[in-house]
Amino acid sequence: MAKTNTTELLEALAAEIGENVYIDIAKWHLHLSDAKLHTVVAEQLYPLITSKTVSEDGVIAVLESIKVKIGGGRKELPLIDLLPLQGQVNLVDILEKYQREI
């Protein structure tokens, strides 16, 4: 990969997250790119990659801090509450891959 440009790296990370991680609502899978959440997630998780501190606990903490508006903005839920366990695992795997490659 060897992407040195931060913007390029963030865009590639956001694209991969958007394609491979989804929220699950009533068995409907909505990829983060379709929900327009992939860029926010990538930007919030990027510091874990650059500081070489990717861990499941760190990822969960970041996902808990990202609020998703539902019901036309009447409620907000932490993103972690909308991701199935496999989505969390996929996300950690993606981040670990990027961490190894930078």
Domain ranges in the chain are: 6-101
Percentage of the residues of the chain whose pLDDT score is greater than 90: 92
Per-residue pLDDT tens digits for 14-44:
999 999 999 999 999 999 999 999 999 999 9
Q: Across all residues in the chain, what is the average pLDDT?
A: 94
Task: Output the DSSP codes for 57-93.
Answer: HHHHHHHHH-EEEETTTTEEEEGGGTS-HHHHHHHHH
Task: Report the chain's C-alpha Rg in angstroms.
Answer: 13
Q: What is the pLDDT of residue 28?
A: 95
Digit-coded pLDDT (tens) for 53-84: 999 999 999 999 999 999 999 999 999 999 99
Q: What is the pLDDT of residue 101?
A: 87
Position 37, amino acid: L
